[in-house]
Amino acid sequence: MTKRDFDAVVVGSGPNGLAAAITLQEAGLSVLVVEGKSMIGGGLRTQELTLPGFKHDICSAIHPLAAGSPFFNTLPLEKFGLEYVYPEVAAAHPFDQGNPAVLYHSIEKTAETLAEDQERYATMARFLTKVWPKIAVDTLGPLGFPSHPFDFARFGLHALPPATWFSGLFKSQQGRGLLAGMAAHAIQPLSNWTTSAIGLVLLTAGHLRGWPIPKGGSASIAKALGAYFESIGGKIQTNFYVTSLKQLPSSHAVLFDITPKQLLKIAGHEFSSLYRNQLSRYRYGMGVFKVDWALDEPIPFKNAECRKAGTLHLGNTLEEITYTEKLSSEGKHPDNPFVLLAQQSQYDASRAPEGKHTAWGYCHVPHGSTLDRTAVIENQIERFAPGFKDRILARHTFNTAEMEAYNPNYIGGDINGGILDIGQLFTRPALRLSPYRTSRKGLYICSSSTPPGGGVHGMCGYHAAKRALADVFKIKENRKLVP
């Protein structure tokens, strides 16, 4: 090969960019990561947004997919400072009336919170936890022939239907609500096909590995990934915002941890008209409005298990969540939106001064909405935790425009890198033999706009790097992934 400044350059240092860079560097290449911000991490950053001493996760907060990532589990990240804390209660889903649904590590203990759905849920969860280790690698990757086709097909029968249909198989308020709250992580109407998938994956992760909190903040994951990358010879340059290919040092391959909209701006002139057209039609989904709070006491949830939960799903019944998510997807702003809430300081004392606490939460909003949703989010929390507002010392908010300014990958506030519906599940960002290749030799996309999509797991970056190694460097990546 002709001599270049680097063998490969990775643009963007989110979890996928870092995963791609590590994969390439471990293969013996020289790799540079360039990051537009002053610190690495993408959605993995933690800052004092409200008051001194209160550490808030900017985007991702709770990490079931990171702890269970088949790629991250091959790396010695604990040697570089990454430590997970596991809440006693992974997630809780309260209701206006009756006991909450509660996700514990134990299947049986979880089932006991689901009224008449106990045996139905336990049977489903036992099946999922049995097959997931066999199908995780195939599920968290590009479309291909699975290594365990029968188990993969059985999982698909559960995962492909709309969450409204799958949740409807359960009879109790608790069972239906638990599944709806899990599926709402998909950030799309629950009537869409495949919305059951994300809910089932999250439930399974809760029973297998839990829903952990990175000690010190989500930035701890990025710091560990970055430190390991540098320890094996990789280089990172921050404050390097890329708007043109001409800015980059010479290399044999460039991998972009960005979404199609930015990729077109940077390299669109290098692509075929067909590929440009495909990228231009790529669809983004709903945005989020996010609030971080500094609190003088823990959130006073009416239910004790809710006070112990690392994560709360605040949306009441299946019917209410379905209705409000549908409204948001139609460009409307419901008065009682589904709220995803995290209580990191309950289990990580480093997040706030002694005796104080933090909280993190968001609701889904129409794509690009800049309407202030602080009041409706706080009302929804107050609904299940009377007195919450009296605990607030300070708050910080992000609307969709501010989210995108913070991280350009969050187009219109979409934190998933594009809607993850049936039309963009395995074909994101374009219908190609390999979704990671662009039409220009040597240029690849490795962001959450590729399979398997959003979440902190690094699998998009790993698969993109594996493709680039084979195409450009004729290197076969033989890593034994650990589901």
Q: Which residues contact 286 (CB under 8 A, 6 or more apart)?
A: 187, 188, 328, 329, 364, 365, 366, 367, 413, 414, 419
Residue 432's Cβ-side half-sphere holds a number of Cα atoms within 13 Å equal to: 21
3-state SS, residue 115: helix
DSSP sequence for 197-258: HHHHHHHHHHHHT---EETT-THHHHHHHHHHHHHTT-EEE-S---S-GGGSPPEEEEEE-S
Q: Which fold has domain 6-81+214-282+418-472?
A: FAD/NAD(P)-binding domain (3.50.50)
Q: Where are the domains of the chain?
A: 6-81+214-282+418-472, 85-210+285-406
Half-sphere exposure of 398 (CA within 13 A, CB side): 28
Task: Give the pairing of strands 443-445 and 251-256.
Answer: parallel
d(CA 57, CA 351): 10
Tokens of residue 25, six digits? 């560097």
Q: What share of the chain is helix, strand, coil (3-state, %, to 5)?
A: 40, 15, 45
Q: Is the peptide bond before 334 cis (omega within 30 degrees of 0)?
A: no
Give the per-residue pLDDT at 2.
81
Who's near 28: CB < 8 A, 6+ residues apart? 475
Identical topology for domains 6-81+214-282+418-472 and 85-210+285-406 = no
In this prediction, residue 336 carries a pLDDT of: 98
Q: Are strands 339-342 and 213-214 parallel, antiparallel or unpaired?
A: unpaired
| Tens of each residue's pLDDT in the chain, 483 residues | 788 999 999 999 999 999 999 999 999 999 999 999 999 999 999 999 999 999 999 999 999 999 999 999 999 999 999 999 999 999 999 999 999 999 999 999 999 999 999 999 999 999 999 999 999 999 999 999 999 999 999 999 999 999 999 998 999 999 999 999 999 999 999 999 999 999 999 999 999 999 999 999 999 999 999 999 999 999 999 999 999 999 999 999 999 999 999 999 999 999 999 999 999 999 999 999 999 999 999 999 999 999 999 999 999 999 999 999 999 999 999 999 999 999 999 999 999 999 999 999 999 999 999 999 999 999 999 999 999 999 999 999 999 999 999 999 999 999 999 999 999 988 899 999 999 999 999 999 999 999 999 999 999 999 999 999 999 999 999 899 998
Q: What is the pLDDT of residue 483?
A: 87
CATH T-level fold of 85-210+285-406: Polyamine Oxidase; Chain A, domain 2 (3.90.660)
